[in-house]
A and B are shown apart, each in its own frame.
Chain A
Amino acid sequence: MRGRKLIFPLALAAILVLLILSIQGRNIVARQGWGMLSVEIMVIALALCYWGFEQGRVSSREVALIAVLGAVAAVGRVPFAALPNIQPVTFMVIISGFVFGSRAGFMTGSTAALVSNFFLGQGPWTPWQMFAWGLAGVTAGLIRMVFPRTGTAGMTVFCIIWGYLYGWIMNLWFWTAFVQPLNWQSFAATYAASFWFDTFHAAGNAAFYLFFGASFKKILARFRRKLEVNFIESIE
C-alpha cells in the first residue's frame, strides 16, 4: 500500500528530471530530441491520470455512465464533421466534468478521443487529444469545486478558453517534433498558423454552451442524482 502512494510523486519527479536533463544539454535525454521527449512526457502524464482512476472505488453505474458519456461525446464528432473545427466534444466534456467531477471528466474526455479515433483513424494526435480533452474535463471539475456557482457567462468564457487551450496543446507536439530550432519566432509562427482553427473551435464551444449548456446540464444533473444511492443499513 505504501508503494502505491509513492507512484504519484515518483512520476512527477520523473517528468521533472526529464525536463531538467533536457535543458542541460549533452546527455542521453537531450540528445534524443524533443520530438521523442514530448511523447514520453505525455505518455507518463496520461498513465498517471489513468492510474488515478484505477485507484478509486468505481461502481457499475459509474463505469456505465462514464462509458456512455465518452461514447456520446465521440459520436458528437460525426454529424459535425462537415463543419470546420466545430464539434461538441470539448463542450460536452466540460459539462460532464462540471457535473460529475474531475475524475469522470478526465475519463470522458480521454475515452471520447480514443474511441472516436478507433473509427475515424488513430494517429499521432491521439495521445495529445486524449490529454487535452481529459484536462478540459479535469479543469471543469476543479471549477465546480472552487466556484460551485459559476453561471452561464462564466462557463461560456471557460469554454472559449478551452477552445484555444485545446489547439495550443495540440500545437505543442507539432512544434517540438517538426520545427527546429525551438525558439520564440518558430513558436509564434506555429501558433499563428493555427489561430483561425482555434478561433472557430472557441466560437463553436461558446455557441454550444450558450444554446445548449443549460439543457445538457439539467439532463446530467438529473442522472447524477440517480447515481447517488444511499443504503439504509437495517430496516426492521
Chain B
Amino acid sequence: MKHTLKIMIIPFLLMGIMTSCEDKLSDNSVFPDSIWPDTTKSTYAFDCWLRDSYVSPYNIEFRYQLQDESTDMSYNLVPAGFEQAQITAHCVKYLWLDVYQKQVSDPNFLKFYAPRIINILGCPAINAAQGTETLGVAEGGYKITLYNMNDMNEWLPKDGGKVNVAMMNKYIFHVMHHEFSHILHQAKSFPKEYEAISGGQYDAQNWQYMSDVDAYRMGFVTPYSRSEAHEDFVEVISSYITDSIGQWKERGFEFSEDNTHLIGFDENLDGTKIINQKIDMAKTWLLEKYGITLDSLRAEVQRRQDAMTYEIVMNN
C-alpha cells in the first residue's frame, strides 16, 4: 500500500513542478492610462470634479461624451454640449445625490443602490414612426440615460434668468426618481396590497390615450401610472418628490396644512383618496425598508428647487 502511495505521489510532484513554470509578467500594465482623468485633455478639470463627486464617493460614471454603442441606435441622437454636460452634472449632484446623501443615514446607500452609469444626450429621443418621445431610459438599475440636455442652459440660465424647474423635472429628476424607485423596489419589494388599490384599472395598451385629468380622477398621478402597478408605484414617489405645490395645484390638488396629504379638487371623487392611499403606502414602505422619510425627502428637494440658481448649483 505504501509502495502504491509513493508511485501515486511522484506524478503529482511532477505536475506541481511543471505548472509552476510560468512566464515572467510584463512590467507594463495592459490597461491604458486613460481610465484616470487625462491631464492633456481640455476636460481635465471637469473630469477631476466628476472623479471626486461621482466616482470616488458613489462609484457612478457620469458619461457625457457620447458613445453611440451605449445608446439606442434606432434614434437619431447628438451628444450633449460640454457646457451643458457640466451644468447637468452639477445639477444632478445638487438636486439628487446630495439630497439622498443628506436624507439617508446609511453612508453607503447610494454607493450600493444608485445606477452605475448616468448617460446624458443632447437632444430628445423622438420615435419618428410613432411620433412619441422617450424622456429617459433605465437599463436594469445599471444605467440611466437622460435626453435633451442641450436645453439645460435655457432651463438654468447663467444670466440669472428664470429657472425652469418643471422642464428639469420632466427630463431629469422625475426620470431619476422614477428609475431609482424601480431599483429600490426591485431590491426590496413593495406590499402586494398596493397592486390591489387600482387593481382592475391598469391598462398597459391604452394608458397614453388618457388625459391627465381623467388619470387623477381614477387615482393615478399621471396617465403613465395607469400602465402597470410597478410604474404606478414609482410614478407616485417621483411625482410626490419632484412636483412643486404649484404643479400639484395646476392638477387640481392642494396640500393639507401639515403638508403631508393631498386635498383634491373634489373631495368626493375617489381619485384623491386613492392617490393619498398610494402615497401613504409608499411612505411606509420607504421608511420601513430604507429608513427614508418621504415627506422629509420631498421637503429637501422642494427647498433646493426653490433656492436654485446657476451660481448655487455650479458652486455646489
Check if A and B associate: no
Using CB atoms and an 8 Å cutoff, list the residues of chain A in contact with chain B: none
